[in-house]
Structure 1
């Protein structure tokens, strides 16, 4: 007879809600103009582009992200201006919580996949979500760029025209 667990299974978004901040702010110096900020609401799944005008915050734009998209966007934002390694993205994508243990587990998983010749299949779900996330971040003038055999990094889109209202 199989024993049934009564404890609640946590989804990735519920892990993120354990953070003390409901809205996380990212200035992304060098990527956004001075005085501009991105605000990620982890409860609603929205990313807002804010600027202070006449001592008041103004929202220039906002995008809605799915739970999976937030799980890959969050480590990219937190890693900026540096790259985000594959194992960190995979850890966040699969568990919603990035700890040294989950990163080590994912690093081992990717090394084993590389040795077995199935690395692309292992990372395909993450790359699919990154593709959808990339489309949404482009509206902010932010490109998610791949660094061969390393990870991903946030970059400024040179041909993007910033919305100013």
Structure 2
């Protein structure tokens, strides 16, 4: 759903949470095919039995794509992604885990290069069904300023 929000409409501390999505073996296989990443940690169940994880783990890039993709339910035509900073994967994601993303507005600041825009930084946490953070990053948005008048 499109929602026009100008830079001035964002407030530090605002939060939202997405719905959940359960990770399947198909997700991992398809992601490996798309990226060419057939690393045994993702694809070799027998090998992974001998590791501390005990089972295959999802690709970090897949966790990022799905976790951020869940946030696309709210679309703002006045904003676009400038990038992501401080991306970390503190816990593994396994087949059967259900992920959801929590977003908190962490900063609202002028954009030094674009006077008609401001920067909004969303602190993103992708969490599993146990409430553990499996991905953390900052999402930087460039957002149009409200027109004068």
Instruction: Please give the range of the TM-score, normalised by the shorter of the 2 chains.
Output: under 0.3
Greater share of strand residues, 1 or 2?
Answer: 2
Structure with higher RCO (Cα < 8 A, 6+ apart): 2
Structure-1-length-normalised TM-score? 0.26
Structure 2 length-normalised TM: 0.28
